[in-house]
Amino acid sequence: MKQTTLILVKPDGVRRGLVGQILARIEAKGYTIEDVRMLTATEQQLAAHYRELVDKPFYPGIVEYMTSGPIIAALVSGHRVIEGVRSLSGATDPTTAAPGTIRGDFACDTGTDSIENLIHSSDSVQSAEHETSVWF
Ligand code: TYD
């Protein structure tokens, strides 16, 4: 079941110089980086990407966070890669994300309106297709 997933290294990851370490973990696991680009997210792209969250109270915080600097978008392929990269990323909340995961090892809740957790990865085949069309 070869799949492709969409990942974003969020602005905190770029700002803190963690792009290499995050991509290295994904490559070390055995997945293949198929494409990478750096960009600054627009509000339109974020509304499409986070279409299920636009009505949430924390959505304005997401926009502020995600437009605070450049991000890296990458396409990553492999057998069951969607599940695999979610597992490497760890839980949404950095405080409880397991040590050994990207969020567990590198992210720390600083009390901002939006959770800053370094990485996004698609959660289903449908999301991966939609999110790929947003960023590539
Ligand atoms: P979600 O898709 O639930 O999490 P994940 O990124 O682990 O798939 O939420 C998307 C992003 O929205 C999440 O990474 C951080 C932000 N967020 C908040 O800021 N506050 C919240 O209460 C939730 C649930 C998410």
* Domains of the chain listed by start with CATH number: 2-135 (3.30.70.141)
Q: What is the dihedral of CA 27, 30, 34, 40, to 10 degrees?
A: -40
Q: Ligand 1, from 92, 103, 131: best to mutate by most atoms within 8 Å of Cβ?
A: 92
Q: How far apart are alpha carbons 53 and 55 in whole angstroms?
A: 6
Pocket test for ligand 1, best of 87, 115, 130 (most atoms within 8 A of CB): 115
For 93-108, what is each residue's pLDDT tens digit?
Answer: 999 999 999 999 999 9
Instruction: Confirm whether residue 117 is marked as ligand binding.
Output: yes
Q: What is the pLDDT of residues 18-67, one digit of tens each?
A: 999 999 999 999 999 999 999 999 999 999 999 999 999 999 999 999 99
Active site residues: 120
Burial of 71 (0-12, 13-18, 19+ CB in 10 A): buried
Q: Which phi and psi angles does 125 have, rounded to 5°? A: -60, -40
How far, CA to CA in Å, does 50 sit from each of 3, 18, 41, 121?
21, 23, 12, 12
pTM for the whole structure: 0.97
CA of 101 to the centre of ligand 1 (A): 16
